[in-house]
């Protein structure tokens, strides 16, 4: 069985140090909470995403998923009674 953990638990830890620590504990996967990296997921560039992936892989870790996608920016609600807010959330 392969174990994974979310980077959200280590919010103030630099990515490389986090990957070192997580790998040293025996984890083989890391779930990324984008709000820990940027206020808007779209502002994380392809180059930055590639660097995160390569850094994780070099330590034997696989990025296994994304977590808490609607944490930032504020005001995103998929079940809000206001259709315009739901629409904005879906577009995000």
* pLDDT at site 71: 95
* pLDDT at site 80: 98
What does pTM read for this prediction?
A: 0.87
Find the CATH number of the domain harbouring 52. Answer: 3.30.750
* pLDDT at site 36: 96
Dist CA 15 CA 22 (whole Å): 10
Domain count, the chain: 1
Q: Which domain holds residue 17?
A: 4-91
Which stretches does DSSP call E strand in the chain?
Answer: 4-6, 29-32, 62-66
pLDDT in tens for each of the 92 residues of the chain?
899 999 999 989 999 999 999 999 999 999 999 999 999 999 999 999 999 999 999 999 999 999 999 999 999 999 999 999 999 999 99
**Phi/psi of residue 11, nearest 5 degrees:** -50, -40
């Amino acid at each position: 069985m392969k174990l994974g953990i979310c980077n959200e638990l280590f919010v103030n830890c630099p990515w490389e140090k986090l990957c070192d620590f997580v790998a040293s504990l025996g984890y083989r996967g890391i779930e990324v909470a984008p709000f820990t990296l940027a206020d808007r997921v779209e502002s994380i560039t392809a180059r930055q995403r590639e660097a995160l992936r390569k850094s994780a892989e070099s330590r034997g870790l696989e990025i296994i998923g994304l977590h808490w996608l609607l944490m930032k920016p504020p005001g995103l609600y998929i079940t809000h009674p206001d259709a315009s807010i739901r629409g904005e959330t879906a577009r995000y």
